[in-house]
Amino acid sequence: MVNNNSEFKGLCDKIIDTDSRIRFVGIADKHGIILTKGERKDIVPLLNDEETEQYAITASTRQYTRLRWQNILGKLHYTCSLYEKILRITIPITNQNNRLEFLMILTLDPDIDDFDDLVMRKLMSPINNFFSVLLK
């Protein structure tokens, strides 16, 4: 069981190290409160800490509205928003009752053309493995 943010930080660092095009990784709770984050060493963040916190709260709210459609449409793996300067990926982490528990928020370089492959083949396994233990 995760009892402090050091294990969350370890997951963020592992995800950052997966691919050089990942700029930022954050883990927020179901309310959108950021628990920990990691950033690629060579970047200048586009959002300050307060803006990042506001974004996470908004992302949490949006995930609640999206999750209600899973019974009809199937599991929501991630959402994606392409901005001029970044590609933002939000991965909802749900419990066994399909209730939102955490959010993984990632930003990638905007010119990435294989982001689905990166998310689904490289990132989902370590993320799912980590949270499956946590949410038992």
In the three-class reduction of DSSP (H, G, I as helix; E, B as strand; rest coil), residue 33 is classed as: coil
Tell me if 45 is assigned to some domain.
no
Q: How large is the greatest C-alpha to C-alpha distance in the chain, in angstroms?
A: 42
Would you state the pLDDT for residue 4?
61
Q: Are 108 and 117 in contact (CB under 8 A)?
A: no
Q: Express each pLDDT in 32-49 by its tens digit.
A: 999 999 999 989 999 999
How many independent structural domains does the chain possess? 1
Note down the domain range covering 35: 5-40+51-113+122-134
Would you state the pLDDT for residue 86?
95
- The secondary element (H helix, E strand) that includes residue 101 is strand 100-108
Read off the CATH number of the domain in which 103 is found. 3.30.450.30
Mean model confidence pLDDT for the chain: 91
Q: Which of 119, 94, 122, 93 is nearest to 107 (CA)?
A: 119
Q: Are 48 and 73 in contact (CB under 8 A)?
A: no
DSSP 118: I
Tell me if 108 is assigned to some domain.
yes
